[in-house]
Chain A
């Protein structure tokens, strides 16, 4: 669908505050409730708005350690990507997995309760994954910015 300036204004307000009710959204965008409602419905129906999700703080659940792994695979193995990602998805402590074009092939997040727990996951589950050539780890110190907002 064609997204116009008014749609973009609606989306900017929704991005800034995901808890807005439709009435509040209409008020902030100076649109009538009916117009606002119809536009949001249309954006949802056409898939521009894919949905809503809760934002979770894993530290409050006792997961104090977050490590980003950057993995290079042995690409001489034809099925390296598929075999690796299939096995990695089985590990409950592994969060998002992304395949990349660049110096590394895969990046993924690992969450653990503490360093001893991380070491256990790393030694027993991560290093057992198939076709790994090299693993690099970055440990999270602090998150300075985290938004899904698009510059629209």
Chain B
């Protein structure tokens, strides 16, 4: 674990808005010289805080209009191994997020779909047929706020 100060947090915020900024541009955005911004970015990378960069695509422009969060309870715990469930659920391309959680559900999933009938198809054919799946709750995302 590495200790971060205000400047480091400002650098992370700048890079979350625009990950293509170079050290000079980051420095200008947060009030540091290019070399000192570069050193701090390197330290965040080496320390495992920045683990990579990814493109942010516009879902709607590519035909994905629906995002659904699912809570999944496993039925018959012990009979089906968690590994079997996890392997099968991770293989579904529409599933972007799989989190093992503690609480009223065992897993939390995020699913992208073209529309509601596409989501229904994914739910019936892919999710409900997963090994060990029990109760499933769906919440359709209406909006995302910061």
Contacts and interface: CB of A to CB of B under 8 A. Distances in A.
B57 A15 contact: yes
Given A53-B53, A99-B141, A146 B97 contact: yes
Contact of B57 (A49, A54, A61, A146): A49
Interface size class of A (residues with CB under 8 A): 35 or more
Interface string B129-143: 000000001111111
Nearest to B16: A53
A117 to B, nearest CB: 14
A139 B103 CA distance: 7
A104 B103 contact: no
5 closest cross-chain pairs (CB), A and B? A102-B139, A151-B93, A52-B19, A18-B54, A138-B103
Interface of B: 1-4, 12, 15-20, 47-59, 61-62, 64, 69, 71, 86, 89-90, 93-105, 107-108, 112, 137-146
28 contacts: A14-B55, A15-B54, A18-B19, A18-B53, A18-B54, A48-B57, A50-B57, A52-B19, A52-B54, A52-B55, A54-B50, A54-B53, A55-B53, A55-B54, A56-B51, A57-B48, A59-B1, A61-B1, A61-B2, A68-B99, A98-B144, A100-B69, A101-B141, A101-B142, A103-B139, A140-B100, A141-B99, A150-B64
Interface of A: 1, 3, 11, 14-15, 18-19, 46-57, 59-62, 68, 85, 89, 96-104, 107, 136-152
